[in-house]
Structure 1
Amino acid sequence: MSKPAGRAALTFIFVSIVLDIVAFGIVIPVLPKLVESFVNNDSATAARWVGLFGTTWALMQFLCAPILGALSDRYGRRPVLLISIAGLGLDYIFMALAPTLGWLFVGRIISGMTASGFATASAYIADVTEPENRAAAFGIVGAAWGFGFIVGPALGGVLGASDPRLPFWVAGGLALLNALYGLFILPESLPPERRAGFTWARANPIGALQFLRAHRELLPLAGTSFLYNLGHTVYPSVFVLWAGYVLQWGAKEVGFALAIVGVANVVVQGGVVRPLVRRLGARKALAIGATAGTIGFALYGLTDVAWLFWVAVVVYAPAGVFNPSLMGVMSARVGPSGQGRLQGATSSLMGIAGMIGPALFTLVFAWSISDGAALHLPGLAFLIAAALFALAGMLGLRATRETSY
């Protein structure tokens, strides 16, 4: 792909991810509230259900991301991306119509399957960028996530204040429009001569993880990715319930808070990753991200007033350089025909973390606010996440000792 075509493709991926994350972010402030409405507004019970929803969603990611990654290595990125985006849009409409908690649960299962296409978007990025530029390119993807989270949660909070189902309808419409946009705009990034054969032995989650085993230089980096993603699941798992319990915030306040967090993420990943990695290298950038994440999550865990929450947001913001730096290093150690499998494997790790994290953090949160808790500390889940970030940072620094960029 020529450089102008590559830039155009990156622009589409940025726009596509923004639209998908807007759709995804719209439902964040209202999904726990919708679950609460099915369980008589019992926060502890709702937390357990939200944990089950999150674990199941991640299980679908674990099972489906390697399949989609391997399919994209065989048939190209474009068809896999478009089918995933369209499926996600139809699923939001399904959840908007869900009459019971059981039907909503089915919707989350389908959502986990279709959202696995994000791994293909990362492989697309790797196709059209040089190894030394991939950390910056993945930073652009992170900025797209952040920008989507600026608009999505704020819009979801406003829409959900009047009707908790309305954000699902809007999310479905945005995702379907995105699929239609890609149908006419998105070029293929993986030419036929660079494609790999498809086998179920390689596409299943265990096969995907064996890909990491076959590339032993990736194993410690994969462990770093796992710890990072496990800690990061604390946010989607308990933030809405925690903010309602500790800060007494409703859907609108939570939506705007998440939007501000998204602004900080865009500033860091869109404007800081590239110059920081260029000036200091991926290893030092990773260390900065791990330190900020550790301290930021610790402050979240100790927060009991709004002003301290905003301090935590600022301190945590530089954590946004961690994952792009890590993904850049991992991607540079794999050849062109293996990028889809790499992204599928890392998505499987994310899925495993996502299966453990929601159950872990929601149960910790439910226990920490229960009447029989030995320690009444609603922010305990965030303190555990801080410890996981610290471990990820130490392992990442050890694994990148010989990295020259």
Structure 2
Amino acid sequence: MAEEYAECLLGNKFHENCPGCKVDQMKRLRRGFPFSELLTVWLIVLCTALPISSLFPFLYFMIGDFNIAKKEEDIGFYAGFVGCSFMLGRTLTSVFWGIVADRYGRKPVILIGTASVVIFNTLFGLSVNFWMAIITRFCLGSFNGLLGPIKAYAMETFRDEYQGLALSAVSTAWGIGLIIGPAMGGFLAQPAKQYPSLFSEDSVFGKFPYFLPCLAISCFALLVTIISLRIPETLHNHKIDDDASSTDESFDTSKVLSHDPESHTVTERNEKSSLLKNWPLISSIIVYCIFSLHDMAYTEIFSLWANSPRKYGGLGYSSADVGSVLAISGFGLLVFQLSLYSYAERLLGPTMVTRISGSLAFILLSTYPLIAKLSGLALTVALNCASVAKNVLGTSAITGLFILQNRAVRQDQRGAANGIAMTAMSLFKAIGPAAAGIIFSWSEKRQDAAFLPGTQMVFFILNVVLALGVVMTFKPFLAQTQH
């Protein structure tokens, strides 16, 4: 094993008071499937992903209730700004949280992130106007910087043979959160209208019709915060180079050990290397940003498209109908990622999985305007099948890029590297909802256009972005770490 070889070179020394060393020892002694660690990572990521897109099924109605849109066709325009405020906040703070994770540890950043969901997501559900909604979402994004550190944590707390599964769990929970969140939003929003026998118009849920889904997510986040108090810290509080130089004078202290989880070979990387000059890292982040832009835009457009009236090319679905579709998609995604993704990644490699997933998603997305022409049972079956397949393919592509990013750097750089990835991704995801809302609103006003009328233009633009991402997975653009 790479760890055994590394330990031999480092004089077989462990620091008694170093949390990272204790985790390394635990990994060496552990046998069997790491179910509890996997579940913990899954819950933490799910907690931070749920509020990101939970608002989309009811955002159309929420903007309408704020009375800020003068025309129904303008609702998508204002919805885009609320949708992007979360990602804008995260864009501005992700590198900061990554640096904090590398300096003070992964655990503090994780705890702050889960606690922020409890506070600011609850306040968002109590929003009484457009600006309160934007500010609470912005604050939620600003303090929710744990996705980068949790990926580093997942790489550091699992043995080599389970690291692919660990990162798959991150992307699976992330993908499911982006699906189950909207499902909860759809089922629980406007409870006084959807479930009048259970909720009164005079109750707090009648006065704040979008509070219940936010409260449910916040309660879950509180539970996850309590669970996170017990997770171990994985960051080493000492320099490996000190040990190396004290036990072997010939060991070059300007370099540190790293290993390839697939080949189990130990290599050396320059300690002073700049992350911005690490092209395998940067190229994978750029491709990740393109796929993330597409996924976020798709998430908002899907709900707006499903909620909008048939006369505008939509499906005329209620928020509960959208919730049903997304719940089925979440279940399908969970089954695939836990049963088939690890096998596909080992067989094809993360780059090929990303490339194939993007290509198949391109073909699938082209059929959406045709699905809108269906009705009844045919529409229900076609839409659910397409939604499951699209989310499986999108999450599989993202998972492959997660693996490439974390293999491109060593442990003491993973927090900052994932922080850079989060900043760049959040910027693109901030653009996604705003651009998607504007384009969707514009498409509804061009129903009689000669070229790609109505929502056909929306899905065409989504496919252009997706095609760009697929092309960028090929050499010479996308590079991988050489060992």
- Partner in structure 1 of residue 386 of structure 2: 312
Kept in 2: contact 1:27–1:153 (CA 8 A)? yes
- 2:395 equivalent to 1:367: no
Q: Which of 221, 235, 249 is the aligned partner of 2:284?
A: 221
Kept in 1: contact 2:106–2:235 (CA 8 A)? yes
Kept in 2: contact 1:135–1:273 (CA 8 A)? no
Structure 2 unmatched ranges of 5 or more: 1-22, 192-208, 241-272, 309-313
CA separation in 2, counterparts of 1:229 and 1:36? 28
CA separation in 1, counterparts of 2:396 and 2:189? 32
Kept in 1: contact 2:151–2:418 (CA 8 A)? yes
CA separation in 2, counterparts of 1:172 and 1:190? 28
Which amino acid in structure 2 is aligned with residue 142 of structure 1? S
In structure 2, relative to structure 1, the CA distance for the partners of 1:391 and 1:178 (3 Å cut) is same
CA separation in 1, counterparts of 2:183 and 2:280? 41
Name the Cα RMSD after superposition.
2.8
- Partner in structure 2 of residue 202 of structure 1: none
Kept in 1: contact 2:91–2:423 (CA 8 A)? yes
In structure 2, relative to structure 1, the CA distance for the partners of 1:156 and 1:355 (3 Å cut) is closer
Kept in 1: contact 2:445–2:454 (CA 8 A)? no
| 1:30 alignment partner, SS class | helix
Please state how far the C-alpha of 1:211 moved relative to its aligned partner. 5.5
- 2:93 equivalent to 1:16: no
- Partner in structure 2 of residue 85 of structure 1: 114
- Map 1:70-109 → 2, pairs under 5 A: 70-109=99-138
Please state how far the C-alpha of 1:212 moved relative to its aligned partner. 4.6
| 2:460 alignment partner, SS class | helix
Please state how far the C-alpha of 1:315 moved relative to its aligned partner. 4.0
Please state how far the C-alpha of 1:21 moved relative to its aligned partner. 3.5
- Partner in structure 1 of residue 305 of structure 2: 242
Select between 336-345 and 5-14 the one with higher mean Cα deviation. Answer: 5-14
Which amino acid in structure 1 is aligned with residue 108 of structure 2? P
CA separation in 1, counterparts of 2:79 and 2:172? 27
Per-residue CA deviation, residues 311-367 of structure 1 (Å, 9 max, x unaligned), is 422542333321111221221110110101111111111112113222221111111
- 2:141 equivalent to 1:112: yes
- Map 1:311-330 → 2, pairs under 5 A: 311-316=385-390, 317-330=392-405
Kept in 1: contact 2:280–2:481 (CA 8 A)? no
In structure 2, relative to structure 1, the CA distance for the partners of 1:27 and 1:171 (3 Å cut) is farther
In structure 2, relative to structure 1, the CA distance for the partners of 1:154 and 1:230 (3 Å cut) is closer
CA separation in 2, counterparts of 1:336 and 1:54? 33
- Map 1:130-209 → 2, pairs under 5 A: 133-148=162-177, 151-162=180-191, 163-183=209-229, 185-193=230-238
How many pairs are equivalent?
391
Per-residue CA deviation, residues 145-183 of structure 1 (Å, 9 max, x unaligned), is 344456443333222141322212222222222212212
Of structures 1 and 2, the one scoring higher in RCO (CA 8 A, sep 6+) is 1
- 2:462 equivalent to 1:385: yes
Please state how far the C-alpha of 1:400 moved relative to its aligned partner. 5.1
Percent of aligned pairs with the same residue? 24
- Partner in structure 2 of residue 357 of structure 1: 432
In structure 2, relative to structure 1, the CA distance for the partners of 1:301 and 1:111 (3 Å cut) is farther
Select between 118-127 and 8-17 the one with higher mean Cα deviation. Answer: 8-17
Per-residue CA deviation, residues 215-268 of structure 1 (Å, 9 max, x unaligned), is 123332222112111111212332221101211111101111111221222223
Please state how far the C-alpha of 1:48 moved relative to its aligned partner. 1.0
Please state how far the C-alpha of 1:92 moved relative to its aligned partner. 1.6
Which amino acid in structure 2 is aligned with residue 300 of structure 1? Y
In structure 2, relative to structure 1, the CA distance for the partners of 1:131 and 1:32 (3 Å cut) is farther
In structure 2, relative to structure 1, the CA distance for the partners of 1:21 and 1:402 (3 Å cut) is closer
Q: Using structure 1 for the length normalisation, give the TM-score.
A: 0.87
Which amino acid in structure 2 is aligned with residue 69 of structure 1? G
Select between 32-41 and 386-395 the one with higher mean Cα deviation. Answer: 32-41
CA separation in 2, counterparts of 1:297 and 1:187? 42
Select between 338-347 and 377-386 the one with higher mean Cα deviation. Answer: 377-386
- Partner in structure 1 of residue 202 of structure 2: none
CA separation in 1, counterparts of 2:442 and 2:326? 25
Select between 238-247 and 310-319 the one with higher mean Cα deviation. Answer: 310-319
Structure 1 unmatched ranges of 5 or more: 196-209
- 2:310 equivalent to 1:281: no
Which amino acid in structure 2 is aligned with residue 347 of structure 1? M
Which amino acid in structure 2 is aligned with residue 242 of structure 1? W
Per-residue CA deviation, residues 363-384 of structure 1 (Å, 9 max, x unaligned), is 1111110158735321432322
Q: Using structure 2 for the length normalisation, give the TM-score.
A: 0.74
Q: Which structure's residues are more often helix, by fraction? A: 1
Please state how far the C-alpha of 1:65 moved relative to its aligned partner. 0.9
Larger Rg computed on CA atoms: 2
Please state how far the C-alpha of 1:58 moved relative to its aligned partner. 1.6
Select between 268-277 and 211-220 the one with higher mean Cα deviation. Answer: 211-220
CA separation in 2, counterparts of 1:275 and 1:378? 37
Q: Which of 325, 350, 366 is the aligned partner of 1:298?
A: 366
- Partner in structure 1 of residue 263 of structure 2: none
